[in-house]
């Protein structure tokens, strides 16, 4: 099923590029899925990682994902899909709320996604400088608020042995990028 999810994501994101680079967008969900797979998470969660931006950023819907991959994968994707009809701030507040109150698998998906985005942003800052903020719907201060809020709430409801190492990596990356 993981191979099918990857192929589905590659097809759905065909032609899309990352925000600050001329590289295929699908490299992002692939890295998120690989992070979850390295941490030994279930197949459904890894599949959801491959597909996490499909309903949000392509012509495919959560229902398409449900038909192809079942209810569990679709519900994980749906929990992490932003409503693009809302403002940037409303969407990010919803993600923070979801992170704060959701089960651990959704937390794992959200933080793996945000870590990969932030590592890419850190690299872009090093290579391109502060001008990269012009490519975002929200600038430095808003991005700082959002990422610090993710770091603040990602541990809620988890016991120590449920916290994967990449949560700590996210926390450290937030400190580096928004020092």
Catalytic positions, written as ranges: 56-57
Residue with tokens 């759905």: 12
Alpha carbon distance 111, 117 (integer Å):
10
Alpha carbon distance 177, 166 (integer Å):
16
Alpha carbon distance 163, 107 (integer Å):
10
Name the β-bridge partners of 24: 17
Alpha carbon distance 132, 140 (integer Å):
10
Handedness of CA 133, 138, 143, 145 (dihedral sign): positive
């Amino acid at each position: 099923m993981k191979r099918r999810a990857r192929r589905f994501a590659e097809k759905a994101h065909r032609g899309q590029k990352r925000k600050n680079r001329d590289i295929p967008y699908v490299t992002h969900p692939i890295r998120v899925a690989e992070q979850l797979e390295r941490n030994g998470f279930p197949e459904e969660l890894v599949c959801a990682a491959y597909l996490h931006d499909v309903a949000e950023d392509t012509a495919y819907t959560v229902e398409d994902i449900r038909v192809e991959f079942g209810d569990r994968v679709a519900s994980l994707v749906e929990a992490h899909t932003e409503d693009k009809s809302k403002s940037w701030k409303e969407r990010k507040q919803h993600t923070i709320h979801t992170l704060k109150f959701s089960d651990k698998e959704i937390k794992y998906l959200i933080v793996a996604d945000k870590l990969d985005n932030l590592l890419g942003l850190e690299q872009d800052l090093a290579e391109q400088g502060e001008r990269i903020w012009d490519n975002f719907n929200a600038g430095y201060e808003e991005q700082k608020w959002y990422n610090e809020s993710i770091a603040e709430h990602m541990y809620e409801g988890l016991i120590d042995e449920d916290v994967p190492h990449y949560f700590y990596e996210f926390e450290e990356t937030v400190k580096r990028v928004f020092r």
